[in-house]
């Protein structure tokens, strides 16, 4: 697929770009600053010769040329970023990775007025965009390490076909994904990130994650 990662210059976006480019997808890093997007893309290509070529573009250009758009921006920039790319994502799938963290209390769950960041995205982008929530509980430290034990992924959304496609992208990235129900359920998966941050602090680590147990393989 042609995947654009908006906010892809951050650690989470860079890690997902690496995973999908390695799986053979055509990945574009998006940023407000073209030079920054190109720099991160060059780093990925230089350090990982085995992956598909990653390119860097400004956010709007990245969103225009993509089939699927992934949002990995800080919550403070969430609405502004969505409004910037709104016209370019109509009729497409948008995977929102954003977590509503409000510094300095990032280990305390914050529920935005819309219910969740993903629900906020759906409200901003409109009904012609299929918003799917995923990857909030994945530690970015693990994404660049192929041998790391990595968190399971809860996938929430109101469109079954879009969810199935994102579940395949989860598998392509080397993770186990689970259909976690409607987009409204993203309130829980997003909030779980603050819980994991709290656990990280308590145990002095950076990579606490979740596992779904009790299911047969």
Tell me the per-residue pLDDT of 25-57, one tens digit each, with 9 for 90 and over. Answer: 999 999 999 999 999 999 999 999 999 999 999
Collect all residues with Cβ–Cβ distance below 8 Å to 208 and sequence separation of at least 6: 139, 196, 199, 200
Residue at 46 is within a domain: yes
- Mean pLDDT across the stretch 90-95? 98
What is the distance of C-alpha 164 from the center of its chain? 16
Residue 140 pLDDT grade (very low, low, confident, very high; cuts 50, 70, 90): confident
Whether residue 104 has a cis bond before it, omega within 30° of 0? yes
What tens digit of pLDDT does each residue of 8-19 get?
999 999 999 999
Q: What pLDDT score was predicted for residue 55?
A: 97
Per DSSP, the residues of 109-134 read ----TTSSHHHHHHHHH-TTSEEEE-
pLDDT at 148 over 80: yes
Residue at 209 is within a domain: no
Q: What pLDDT score was predicted for residue 154?
A: 98
The total of structural domains in the chain comes to: 1
Tell me, what DSSP letter sits at residue 139?
A: -
- Mean pLDDT across the stretch 145-153? 91
pLDDT at 141 over 90: no
What tens digit of pLDDT does each residue of 187-211 get?
999 999 999 999 999 999 888 999 9
Q: What pLDDT score was predicted for residue 207?
A: 84
Residue at 34 is within a domain: yes
Question: In which domain, by residue range, is 174 found?
Answer: 2-203
Q: What pLDDT score was predicted for residue 191?
A: 96
Residue at 216 is within a domain: no
Buried residues in 36-63 as b, exposed as e (16+ CB within 10 A):
bbbebbebbbeeeeebbebbbbbbbbbb
Residue at 217 is within a domain: no
What tens digit of pLDDT does each residue of 94-103 get?
999 999 999 9
Q: What pLDDT score was predicted for residue 206?
A: 84
| Average confidence score pLDDT of the chain | 95
Residue at 208 is within a domain: no
CA-to-CA distance for 54 and 9, rounded, in angstroms? 12
Per DSSP, the residues of 156-173 read EES-HHHHHHHHHHHHHT
Residue at 211 is within a domain: no
Neighbouring C-alpha atoms within 13 Å toward the C-beta of 179: 12
pLDDT at 217 over 80: no
Identify the CATH number of the domain in which residue 107 sits.
3.40.50.720
Residue at 108 is within a domain: yes
């Amino acid at each position: 697929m042609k995947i654009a990662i908006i906010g892809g210059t951050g650690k989470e976006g860079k890690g997902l770009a690496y995973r999908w480019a390695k799986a053979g997808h055509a990945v574009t890093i998006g940023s407000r600053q073209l030079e920054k997007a190109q720099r991160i893309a060059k780093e990925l290509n230089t350090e990982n010769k085995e992956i598909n070529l990653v390119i860097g573009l400004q956010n709007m250009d990245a969103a225009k040329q993509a089939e699927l758009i992934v949002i990995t921006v800080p919550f403070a920039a969430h609405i502004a970023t969505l409004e910037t790319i709104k016209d370019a994502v109509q009729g497409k799938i948008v995977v929102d990775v954003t977590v509503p963290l409000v510094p300095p209390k990032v280990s305390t769950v914050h529920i935005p007025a819309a219910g969740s960041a993903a629900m906020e995205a759906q409200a901003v982008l409109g009904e012609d965009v299929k918003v799917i929530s995923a990857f909030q509980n994945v530690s970015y430290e693990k994404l660049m390490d192929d041998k790391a034990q990595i968190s399971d992924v809860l996938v929430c959304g109101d469109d079954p076909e879009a969810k199935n496609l994102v579940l395949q992208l989860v598998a392509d990235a080397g993770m186990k994904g689970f259909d976690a129900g409607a987009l409204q359920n993203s309130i829980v998966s997003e909030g779980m990130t603050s819980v994991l941050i709290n656990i990280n602090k308590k145990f002095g680590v950076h990579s606490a994650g979740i596992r779904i147990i009790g299911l047969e393989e």
